[in-house]
Amino acid sequence: MSFNWEKWERTRKLGLVRFVLLYGILLYGTVVFFVLLGLAVILRIDQTITEHITRALFLGLVFGIYYYLTTESKYKKHIKDKS
C-alpha cells in the first residue's frame, strides 16, 4: 500500500500550526480524551476532567507535531527521489 502523496500535498498547505490544531489537538486529542476517560471509569482511576483534558491536549500537540514533521520529511524525500 502506497501513501497518498497527492492528499498530503493538499494537507500540507495548512501549515504546521493549523495541521497540529486540527489533526493533532482537535481530532487526535479528542480521541485520546475519551479513551483516557473511559479507562479511568473502567479502572476506577480518580482524576479530574481537567487532568484528562490537559493530558489529551498535550498528547494531541505532540502527536500532531511528530506526524507533520515525519510525513513532511518523507514527502520531501519522495519528491527528491521522483525527480
pLDDT tens digit sequence for 20-69: 999 999 999 999 999 999 999 999 999 999 999 999 999 999 999 999 99
12: confidence class by pLDDT, cuts 50, 70, 90:
very high
What are the backbone angles phi and psi of residue 21, rounded to the nearest 5°?
Answer: -65, -45
- pTM comes to 0.88
Residue pair 37/52 in contact (Cβ under 8 Å)? The answer is: yes
pLDDT at 82 over 90: no
